[in-house]
Structure 1
Amino acid sequence: MNFIQLQEFKLAHVTSPFRSSDLGVKQEGHIFGWYEVPIHNSEVKDAANYAVKSIGKRSNFLSPYELREIVLAKTKKIEDYVKFNLLLKVSRGIKEEIFRVEVNKKLGGRFYVSWLQQDHS
């Protein structure tokens, strides 16, 4: 019979691929919480682009949403993922809209939107 049997199991310590310095974060004595990060950071741009695609999928409009500007970006590292809290200016045709979104990036690199809200102010 051909079979494989587990002989030993050791729990490997997995470290996060994200460091605060990778995101341009300057920690000033804080251990936990949100940190403002540069809006031109590639991770922030990837998260923002993913969020805009998600906004478009939730919409029933024919014209696609386009990212106009990342107004504000904050991040928080939590064990095996990073949360991005973003304020985005997007457009659909000639109409501009503002959205607040929270995008999570898991250890494997997958994004998902945990919440989004249109800012009507």
Structure 2
Amino acid sequence: MPAYGWYEWPVLADGTKQPHYIHGDGPLYFAALTAWKPGTELDAAHGFAIVTNDTEGGMVDIHARRPVALPSDVAWRWINPSYLTDDARELLNKGVPEDAFTWHPVRQEVGNSKYQLADAIEPI
């Protein structure tokens, strides 16, 4: 699943949630799973789930888990339907390291799916 970043809402000391935008230096490729098979109809029953892993280091303050982002060369292997399951599982260990990401607080409006303005990723 291609993306440029994702949002998390850590709880602040006063109990409120503050959205943060987390990103790398360029496109990210999240490992995802689906029941859809090439050549079959796309429908609501064949969505996908993004694979996550526990966080470490400073990112723990934002959330306990994060998407597994794969480098582009590894992502190409991940999406190959003929890749063996055990080999695919091993690819999850080759994700982009946590220190490749940066994050900053963003405006509260990003929690509303109707908010689609470009400033949704701008630091506040």
Structure 2 length normalisation: TM-score? 0.28
Richer in strand (by share): 1
Structure (1 or 2) with the greater helix fraction:
2
TM-score, normalising length from structure 1?
0.28
User: Greater relative contact order: 1 or 2 (C-alpha under 8 angstroms, separation 6 or more)?
Assistant: 2
